[in-house]
């Protein structure tokens, strides 16, 4: 199987280790990955007002590039890229006028977009095309005894029309971590918004949410929290600094990206995870379980 891969901005910058871990894990699964050529930023958020076509241009251009790579499907490891690309795709598939206006605006593109590319988050591919059973079989270092709470946030599961799982009680991350040998921990805040981009203009809102979300996970026994969005990852990890200022008794919880847990269990070297880039160090807990 070969996947055309859209990295997005953050997996090429602060979260480069999430990409490296994901690519290594896919290699261990025997999946060929080809990075999309000349990709551009998708815009990170889907424009919600009816007349704002221009902001759908960036994601649709990414879909044109996918066609030019002779593929009719595109994979991303970022929940926000996934949401923006998939929603823009559904928007133009349902509105021929909007699609023709966008193609006109991009008249210098040699390829026209015709709604003929499907957008996938890597988690969907793991579940539906590779299968969690295969992943279980290829796991060489099971995450034995590691108690992992799965945090979904918003963009992977909402709105319902594009979400990859039940918007109120998703299970896909739990199924993945279980197949890697970990013990999934359920907790009530797994779909609660971390306040996303409010981290720029009001970090304290994010710190308050981080407190609620991580406290709940920890009280129910979680030793680490796994995420599938690099913005959630930044907020829940780096903002623990601000959380501790607001609540001095707050106990830190390490945050890992789902690709890092995969890389670990599938036998990639520890360097791929670049655990030194994390604000809250996941090494002590991983060491205590004999995983690194």
Partner 1 sequence: MRINISRKNINDLFVAKIQELSGQNLLACYQCGKCSAGCPAVSDMDLLPNQIIRYAQLGLKDELMHSKSIWVCASCMTCNVRCPRGIKIAEVIEAIRQILLRKRADHLPLENLSPEVKCQVPPIALISSFRKFTS
Residues that bind partner 1 (CB under 8 A): 8-10, 13-15, 41, 43-45, 47-52, 55, 78, 80, 154, 158-160, 167-168, 191-193, 195-201, 205, 208-209, 230-231, 234, 238
199 or 260: CB nearest partner 1: 199
CB of 236 to partner 1, least distance (A): 13
CB of 49 to partner 1, least distance (A): 4
Q: Using alpha carbons, list the distances in angstroms from residue 18 to 78, 170, 181.
A: 10, 22, 20
- CA dist 94 and 247 (Å) reads 48
- CA dist 257 and 77 (Å) reads 10
159 or 267: CB nearest partner 1: 159
196 or 214: CB nearest partner 1: 196
Token digits of residue 42: 């998708």
CB of 128 to partner 1, least distance (A): 22
123 or 265: CB nearest partner 1: 123
CB of 164 to partner 1, least distance (A): 14
CB of 54 to partner 1, least distance (A): 12
The residues, ordered by sequence, that sit 6+ positions from 1 with a Cβ below 8 Å of its Cβ are 30, 31, 32, 129, 130
DSSP count for the chain of H helices, then E strands: 13, 8
CB of 258 to partner 1, least distance (A): 16
* Dihedral angle sign, alpha carbons of residues 158, 154, 173, 3: positive
CB of 15 to partner 1, least distance (A): 6
71 or 212: CB nearest partner 1: 212
Up-side HSE of residue 23: CA atoms within 13 Å toward CB? 15
200 or 290: CB nearest partner 1: 200
47 or 111: CB nearest partner 1: 47
- B/e letters for 209-246, b = 16+ CB within 10 Å, e = fewer, are bbbebbbbbbeeebbbbbbbbbbbbbbbbbbbebbbee
The three-class DSSP label of residue 115 is: coil
CB of 6 to partner 1, least distance (A): 13
211 or 223: CB nearest partner 1: 211
**Within 10 Å of residue 277's Cβ, how many Cβ atoms?**
12
- CA dist 270 and 247 (Å) reads 32
């Amino acid at each position: 199987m070969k996947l055309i891969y859209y990295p997005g901005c953050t997996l090429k910058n602060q979260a480069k280790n999430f990409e490296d871990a994901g690519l290594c894990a896919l290699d261990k699964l025997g999946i060929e990955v080809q990075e999309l050529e000349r990709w551009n930023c998708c815009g990170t958020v889907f424009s919600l007002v009816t007349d704002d076509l221009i902001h759908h241009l960036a994601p649709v251009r990414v879909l044109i590039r996918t066609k030019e790579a002779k593929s009719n499907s595109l994979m991303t490891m970022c929940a926000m890229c996934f949401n923006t690309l998939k929603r823009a795709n559904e928007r133009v598939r349902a509105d021929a006028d909007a699609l023709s206006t966008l193609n006109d605006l991009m008249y210098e593109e040699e390829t026209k977009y015709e709604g003929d590319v499907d957008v996938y988050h890597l988690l969907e591919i793991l579940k539906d095309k590779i299968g969690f059973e295969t992943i279980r079989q290829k796991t060489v270092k099971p995450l034995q005894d590691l108690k992992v709470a799965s945090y979904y946030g918003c963009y992977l599961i909402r709105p319902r029309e594009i979400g990859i799982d039940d918007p109120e009680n998703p299970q896909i991350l739990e199924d993945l971590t279980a197949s890697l040998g970990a013990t999934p921990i359920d907790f009530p805040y797994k779909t609660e918004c971390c306040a996303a981009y409010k981290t720029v203009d009001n970090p304290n809102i994010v710190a308050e949410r981080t407190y609620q979300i991580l406290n709940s996970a920890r009280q129910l026994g979680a030793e680490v929290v796994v995420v599938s969005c690099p913005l959630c990852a930044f907020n829940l990890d780096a903002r623990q600094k601000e959380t501790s200022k607001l609540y001095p008794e707050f106990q830190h919880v390490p945050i890992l990206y789902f690709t890092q847990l995969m890389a670990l269990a599938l036998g990639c070297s520890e360097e791929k995870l670049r655990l030194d880039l994390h604000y809250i160090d996941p090494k002590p807990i991983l060491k205590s379980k004999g995983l690194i």
